[in-house]
Amino acid sequence: MNKKAILVLENGSIFEGYSFGADIETYGEVVFNTSMTGYQEILTDPSYAGQIVVPTYPMTGNYGINDNDFESKRIQVSGFVVREECEEPSHYQSKMTIHEYLAENGIAGIHGIDTRAITRLLRSCGVMRGIITCEKTPQQALAEIKMKPDYSNTDFVQKVSSPVSYDWQAEKYNESVYNIAVLDCGLKFSILRKLSALNCSLKVFSCDTPAVEILKMNPDGVLLSPGPGNPELLGYIVDNVKILAEKKPIMGICLGNQLIGRAFGAKTFKLKFGHRGGNHPVKELANDRIHITAQNHGFALDPDTVSNGLEVSFINLNDGTVEGVRHKELPIFGIQYHSEASPGPLDTTYLFKQFLGMIDKSK
Amino acid sequence: MTEKPKKVLIIGSGPIIIGQAAEFDYAGTQACKAMREEGIISVLVNSNPATIMTDEDIADIVYIEPLTVEVITRIIEKERPDGLLPTLGGQTGLNMAVDLDDAGVLEKYNVKSLGTPIDSIRKGEDRELFKEMLEEIGEPAPPSATVKNIKEAREVAQRLELPLVVRPAYTLGGTGGGFANTWEQFDEVVITGLNASPIRQVLLEKSLVGWKEIEYEVMRDGANNCITICNMENIDPMGVHTGDSIVVAPTQTLTNKECQMLRTASLKIIRALGVEGGCNVQFALDPKSNQYYVIEVNPRVSRSSALASKATGYPIARVASKIAVGKRLDEIPNAVTGKTMASFEPSIDYIVAKIPRWPFDKFDSGDRVIGTQMKATGEVMAIDRCFEAAIQKAIRSLEFGKRSLLWEDPKWVLSDDIKSYPLYPSDLRLWAVMAALRRGKSVEEIANRTGYDLWFLNKLKNIINMEKRLLSEQLTPELLLQSKRLGFSDIQIGTLADRLPEQVRQLRHDWGLQPVYKMVDTCAAEFDAATPYFYSTYEKENESLAENRNKAIVIGSGPIRIGQGIEFDYCSVHSAWALQKSGYQSIMINSNPETVSTDFDTSDRLYFEALDEESVRDIIENEGSGTDIEADIQEPPCILQFGGQTAINLATPLTRAGLPIIGSSSETIDLAEDRKRFEHFLNGLGIPQAPGATVTTVEEAIKVAELIGYPVLVRPSYVLGGRAMEIVHNVNELARYVKLAADLDTGHPVLIDKYLLGKEVEIDAIGDGESVFIPGIMEHIERAGVHSGDSMAVYPAIKLTKTEIDTIVDYSVRIGLALDIKGLMNIQFDVVRDDSGKSKIYVLEVNPRASRTVPFISKVTGISIVDVATKVMLGKSLKEQGFQSGLFPNRKLIAIKAPVFSMSKLLGVDTYLGPEMKSTGEVMGIDTSFNGALTKALLAAGLMLPEKGSMLFSIADRDKAEALPIIKNFHDAGFKLYATEGTSELLQNAGLSVSIITKKLDEGHPNVIDIIHDGTVNGVVNTITGGRVSLRDGFHIRRAAAEQRIPCFTSLDTARAVSEVLANGQYNYEVLSMPEYRNR
């Protein structure tokens, strides 16, 4: 386990550490996340597809991996970079170590890294591509990076979305009051769990399901899930959202928010280093309330292009970017952050109720 | 939102006591700064002069007055503030605000309580109200019930389920209670408890011992926006007071779900309470399920919030103050990033470890077991990127000399049996855990006995594993780096790998292994931060790059302990400011999270590090050229005068390493501190010193003592706060003490002086090599022999003759010049008068550094002594600063500094005053008359007696003659007299009416203890005779008084002063601001 490994970044920076998890080479866009707990949720969040994640918190794996905190069926990140991985986790729910989990899923990790130095680099230079390797020299690794496709030009949604539609089996029985269609662009289980607990029966659709197909089940509302990558590449989904928007109440989360925006003609742009963590303050413009939110996005809606009945409803208090939109007349809203949290604070779980309230009104 | 107030009253927390330390100076200082930023006039009242908040450039109007309803009412009447900030002065400030409200004062003068409403405070403080509120919002409180007999108890216990805690009502220190794990135990504990309770009532509560203890620091603004600043996990689980627990931030063993569950609960609670500002919520979390209970809230800033502020960089007190005057979280800038707002939650990318500093090294007789009553006087914090390093650095910060984690108590008798390890809660538990791990005890076994989470134990085991590798393997660059990453000091590595610490250091240099410094920035590097607040770690990138400009390093004073308190933090802070004013970059090093000096905006750069040779030298190197050879930046000099003995102790090692210090040289320091050299030095000047000598063996000691005659004063050289100092009267005592003192600190000899009965006088002075300026002379009320830190000191000297004063000034100037003092020094004199009234003045000691009276004398004279001294060190002479040799003219005021003790919290510690310092804090009484000043000093110190009442006297034979007139004073003042057998005889013979009360505790009731406990007497005068046996007699009397919290005077000098105030019947005093006193 103490095999030497290196992380090489696109700009030539080299970080030396030790391999853990699967002993393979991996490539991805390197991003940092400032959450201090919740590594299991992060690892399994499909929105991290194609990315090598660097938790800024230096000790990872302290409470092991348990059966309850998966956000999808497998690890989604393409690599994991930590200061220290915990070899002897301690928690009554723990089933295995983070090393075992990564190894089992064939995902490479590197530990012993000055993760703060990487964070500072990404903060000032912007996110960049990187490779974790035990075999290659830094020069070879750098040459390899240049040959790889750019993150922003890859459609990761196709890769993570469920290829088939399915009905969500709630873990606990709840009386079903609402029928919700969920468009899986990189869905997290927590969204389904939260809605299910609010008496929703849920049908999950593959990301490229045509709108007519979804409308066939006559859902009470549609939830557009979060997901990875560049929303500009998702015209095929946006077209469906345009149709759904005329017919059904919609709530969009993260990528779902951007899809709503795009459906109403707004543009997106790539943030320098994104928002990833559990401490982002957003302000609800309707009432000036502040919420601390969980975030995970590298792209954002351009506020100047939000129009056609759509308006900005939440802004980020750190950098002023758009954190949510709503339609002035139609029962449609989106949030750029994660009301399902997981990991992160639960300040905005009320939005799921708001979504259902909107459905009630539009009935 | 209501209108912003114009003038706000801030109540400080008074003297430093156990449970209420420097954190409230930090909070109050931030509050004052916040008011200034908001354009609001601050009126500050505190009785503690050794605080930054009572500086006139921090608060706008400063009152150093006792914290009583009467005094504060007079201040309100005079100043007419329209607002009051109740939540920044600890429990003292909070109670005061509630009392003022109860007394109708706030309403009468139209003073609005700002921030958290008084009703919320009551809800948070009152157990019953709080429980009701929790029930309403569906948050769980530990199930409990009050019962009056065993039958009722059994019924209730069926419902509550075992294990249970049994707490008798109205007993002191929880005596008579206990835990019931089985039904047999239950009956026994309940019956004992019922018997112990004077009202035959016990509280049964679900026992949560062993559950994880988790804290959340929460903030809420008036618009109901809530954030959490930080969560913390106590390594010592439930059962140990959080102030006595080793704590880490953030939590380490909780999943995200558990963190969010408790975070959500915290927000629910702060909203339900309606707190506007900061609040601390404590939880117990079952280690085996997600069940939790809310244990307690503090609806105010606290010790934990100070720790959280330093741990995250988020200034809780400052933001809380702004919220109190109506600001919203999103309207307050984040001082750290300068770009974002206060409405976010800090993310940290390191681990913080806090370890309490207990006073047991001074109180050998004290009970070292820790529990629900806090006993620590202070704490240290260390930051690193892994737990092992953070905890090891924290231990280095405790300044226990050689007590690293390698240390084991020679008194331990350890065997294969896990029970032989002292793994119960005590100040030494961590070392016992290490000893057990070292001997192969399993983490599970240790977890069973300590309740430590396995995560922590496995990390501690990593340290043991590294110890073993260092012992057995060749020291390679790789191994050295790994051990440094785990926080091993050069000394530890040297010990294990058989090298001198200096050789390890050299190896590190040869191999390029130097620490880097990372920033504490509230945001885990997500945003560019402006805070120059750093910690060391062994990693890749260094963020603290040296600047090429004039700069100097101020060495702080570390954790607050008896003998080295907040006074030195006051000095350090002022020195940093003086550097800035002189155009220097000020660099602060300190390890104490409670203080103003470790506020990131006090200095230009803050290094949160241990104050030992290794870390200070590493920092100096980093601030010199560092790793950047090209830059060619000079190594900055260190200022060692302000950080107490901690800083002074670095003089020799830094000088030996060829590193610059400014101020008095290490040669000067050594000359003053080395007894033999100093004796020669004084002889040369023709200045008398009490006869004595330096010895290293018991035989030598006895020889010297016989030569100079008993009683003698014995102490180790290089002492702190008179540690292990005693007056001994015969050869047996002497032999015992010399041995004890030698055990304390090897390498330094023991001093023996003739004990001279005289009046103790002290001065603080500043020298620059040409002049010696003395801002003031203080005379002690207690005779020499009582530690100066435990004496009441009066400014100016009112009972000295002009000749005596002239002699003192002459000696001081000559000593200062001859020692070549650059900066501060403190000299203690003993003025011994013979029967004809002729006096001889002896020098007791010279401390070539700032003393604990510096803040006191600065405040009464209005001269910022530290500022002047720092400028002297930078090369600006006294003359250039407008001062000349000699004594500064007396101000027309009387100020009395009085010590404050925390004896009710330290079971088993004897309270009598002697050469060993015992007080934890001090107060000042200032007035235009001596009586007024003394009255206020006594009031502030909690030593004031009622105008009419009863006193108990138990006087040693040799003091009886001297005591009689004092007792008469009490009698004349209308006090009823109680006395023990021998003392009664004295009083009866003198024709005073007295009630005899026996001190024989096994010969019927009532005895002396009974009349103390039942409140019959309001105070005690008890003096001790020399021998240890008679000490034991009075011990129970003194402890009873401490526990009953009534004044117990063990020095006749104090008793005399008090009796005179009472006999005068003059309780009149002024209530004026500091400039008003000085400028009369």
Q: Do A66 and B340 touch (CB under 8 A)?
A: no
Residue A126 exposure: Cα atoms within 13 Å on the Cβ side: 6
Q: Do A63 and B254 touch (CB under 8 A)?
A: yes
Cβ under 8 Å to A: B residues 109-138: none
Q: Do A59 and B386 touch (CB under 8 A)?
A: yes
Yes or no: say if A301 and A264 are a contact pair by the CB < 8 Å rule: no
**Cβ-based contacts of B526 with chain A (< 8 Å):** 32, 34, 56, 119, 123, 273, 277
What pLDDT was estimated at residue B224?
96
**Sequence spans of domains, chain A:** 4-148, 157-362
**Cβ-based contacts of B257 with chain A (< 8 Å):** 68-69
**Cβ-based contacts of B517 with chain A (< 8 Å):** none
- Same domain (yes/no): B988, B1049: yes
What pLDDT was estimated at residue B717?
64
Known catalytic residue at A200: no
Residue A343 has its nearest CB partner, among B256, B348, B454, at B256
Q: Do A317 and B254 touch (CB under 8 A)?
A: no
Low-confidence residues of chain A: pLDDT under 70: 1
Q: Do A283 and B329 touch (CB under 8 A)?
A: no
Mutate which: A88, A90, A275, A321, vs B, most B CBs within 10 A: A90
**Structural domains in chain B (count):** 8
**Cβ-based contacts of A92 with chain B (< 8 Å):** 287-289
Q: Do A279 and B347 touch (CB under 8 A)?
A: yes
Q: How far apart are CA B112 and CA B82, in angstroms?
A: 6
Residue A27 exposure: Cα atoms within 13 Å on the Cβ side: 14
Name the amino acid, one letter, at B208.
Answer: L
Q: How far apart are CA A121 and CA A124, in angstroms?
A: 5
- Same domain (yes/no): B116, B78: yes
Helix (H, G, I), strand (E, B) or coil at A41: helix
Q: How far apart are CA B196 and CA B186, in angstroms?
A: 15
Residue B227 has its nearest CB partner, among A93, A116, A292, at A292
Structure tokens at A305: 């292009």
Please determine, for the modelled complex, whether the ipTM score is greater than 0.85. yes
What pLDDT was estimated at residue B193?
86
Catalytic residue among A99, A280, A291, A338: A338
Chain B CB within 8 Å of residue A272 CB: no
- Same domain (yes/no): B302, B222: yes
- Same domain (yes/no): B12, B76: yes
Chain A CB within 8 Å of residue B349 CB: yes
- Same domain (yes/no): B760, B858: yes
Chain B CB within 8 Å of residue A349 CB: no
* Cross-sheet strand order for the sheet of B533-537: B516-519, B533-537, B605-608, B585-590, B551-555, B638-639, B661-662
Yes or no: say if B244 and B269 are a contact pair by the CB < 8 Å rule: no
Catalytic residue among A71, A99, A254, A280: A254
Q: Do A56 and B345 touch (CB under 8 A)?
A: no
Q: B166 vs B189, B289, B980, CA distance in Å?
A: 7, 25, 36
Instruction: Among B510, B545, B574, identify where a domain stops.
Output: B510
Instruction: Among B304, B319, B346, identify where a domain stops.
Output: B346
In a domain, B534, yes or no: yes
Residue A345 has its nearest CB partner, among B263, B453, B528, at B263
What pLDDT was estimated at residue B1?
46
* Residue A132 per-residue DSSP state: E
Instruction: Among B718, B749, B780, identify where a domain stops.
Output: B749
In a domain, B901, yes or no: no
Mutate which: B232, B254, B256, vs A, most A CBs within 10 A: B256
Residue B347 has its nearest CB partner, among A34, A68, A281, at A34
Cβ contacts below 8 Å, chain A against chain B, sum to: 160
Structure tokens at B1068: 């009149």
Known catalytic residue at A340: yes
Chain B CB within 8 Å of residue A88 CB: yes
Question: CA Rg, chain A, in Å?
Answer: 20
Residues 6+ apart with CB under 8 A from B882: none
**Cβ-based contacts of B535 with chain A (< 8 Å):** none
Chain A CB within 8 Å of residue B250 CB: yes
**Cβ-based contacts of A345 with chain B (< 8 Å):** 228, 260, 263-264, 345
Nearest CA in chain A to B332: A317
**Cβ-based contacts of B343 with chain A (< 8 Å):** 281, 290, 317
Please name every residue paired with A4 in a beta bridge, in sequence order, or none if there are none.
A18
Express each pLDDT in B977-1018 by its tens digit.
999 999 999 999 999 999 999 988 888 888 998 999 888 999
- Same domain (yes/no): B684, B784: yes
**Cβ-based contacts of B228 with chain A (< 8 Å):** 292, 345
Q: How far apart are CA B292 and CA B271, in angstroms?
A: 19
DSSP letters spanning B1016-1063: --SEEEE---SSHHHHHHHHHHHHHHHHHT--EE-SHHHHHHHHHHHH
Question: Which residue range forms the structural domain that includes residue B252?
Answer: 127-137+213-346
Q: Which CATH number goes with the domain that contains B177? A: 3.30.1490.20
Q: Which among A77, A79, A103 has a CA at the least distance from the CA of A25?
A: A79
Q: How far apart are CA A51 and CA A160, in angstroms?
A: 13
Q: How many helices (H) and strands (E) does chain B have?
A: 36, 40
Q: Which CATH superfamily is domain A157-362 in?
A: Class I glutamine amidotransferase (GATase) domain (3.40.50.880)
Helix (H, G, I), strand (E, B) or coil at B99: helix
Chain A CB within 8 Å of residue B350 CB: yes
Q: Which CATH number goes with the domain that contains B284? A: 3.30.470.20
What pLDDT was estimated at residue B171?
64
Structure tokens at B517: 């410094």
**B304: enclosing H helix or E strand:** helix B303-312
- Same domain (yes/no): B820, B953: no
Q: Do A289 and B224 touch (CB under 8 A)?
A: yes
- Same domain (yes/no): B500, B370: yes
- Same domain (yes/no): B297, B228: yes
**For A271-349, where are the alpha helices, taking DSSP H only?**
none
Known catalytic residue at A338: yes
Residue B255 has its nearest CB partner, among A63, A86, A318, at A63
Express each pLDDT in B338-353 by its tens digit.
878 899 999 999 999 9
Q: Do A279 and B344 touch (CB under 8 A)?
A: yes
Q: Which CATH number goes with the domain that contains B65? A: 3.40.50.20
- Same domain (yes/no): B116, B161: no
Residue B992 exposure: Cα atoms within 13 Å on the Cβ side: 26
- Same domain (yes/no): B367, B395: yes
Q: Do A36 and B250 touch (CB under 8 A)?
A: yes
Chain A CB within 8 Å of residue B256 CB: yes
Q: Which among B519, B513, B520 has a CA at the least distance from the CA of B539?
A: B513
Chain B CB within 8 Å of residue A274 CB: no
Class of domain A4-148: alpha beta
Residue B225 has its nearest CB partner, among A15, A57, A290, at A290
Q: Do B455 and A66 touch (CB under 8 A)?
A: no
**For B473-605, where are the alpha helices, taking DSSP H only?**
477-485, 490-497, 501-510, 566-581
Cβ under 8 Å to A: B residues 517-546: 518, 523-528, 539-541, 543
In a domain, B940, yes or no: no
Q: Do B350 and A90 touch (CB under 8 A)?
A: no
User: Looking at CA atoms only, how far is residue B128 from chain A in angstroms?
Assistant: 29
Low-confidence residues of chain B: pLDDT under 50: 1, 720-722, 1030
**Cβ-based contacts of B340 with chain A (< 8 Å):** 317-318
Residue A318 has its nearest CB partner, among B223, B344, B454, at B344
Q: Do A123 and B541 touch (CB under 8 A)?
A: no
Residue carrying the six token digits 């009703």: B119
Yes or no: say if A256 and A110 are a contact pair by the CB < 8 Å rule: no
Q: Do A37 and B259 touch (CB under 8 A)?
A: yes
- Same domain (yes/no): B586, B681: no
